[in-house]
Amino acid sequence: MSTWWCGSLLVGLLCIQGTAWGTDRLTPEVKAVQKTRPTVVNIRGKKTVRDQNRQYDADTSRQVNGMGTGVLVDPRGYVITNYHVVEGVSNIQVTLPDQRTFDADLVARDAKTDFALIKVAARDDFPTIKIGDSSDLMLAERVIAIGNAYGYENSVSVGVISELHRTVQVSDDQVYYDLIQTDAAINPGNSGGPLLNINGG
């Protein structure tokens, strides 16, 4: 009896708070995520990874599951993502926030900039993201990242612009220029996802 009463009281309090403070809680960040989330997709596939067996001085290969994020940019089903998300991946699978899953084909890629364009194999019209303009970003401006961090689909993290025009060297022959640095949490699985301003662009 007491457990039921506590549960009812908690639900009642939540309802009262939601009614009284609903407008205050609908922040620009919340609105940006609500507007953009339907355009952010999960990308999965399998790729072959080669391992060198030092004991026998031989190469072995194994299948691993790859995962990342993408953004719908065209109602015909075109999705942009990072190239390393789909590099060497067989049977690219794209899952929408409404849990519909489609096969996708790699349409274009640029390894130097780590950019890829894939297309969902479907006839549906899809929601698309509003592309922003990074030229007017400001230091300490509030930004939002959406992605499949650690396999948890559509995870949201919030931070600020820490610096602009960063150069990062990731290997002897791979350098990224003019990057945006943020303190919003970016974890494995976020690759290919959007970084939004509070207008959702």
User: Active-site residues: which are they?
Assistant: 84, 114, 191
Q: Say how far apart CA 21 and CA 46 lie, in whole Å.
A: 46
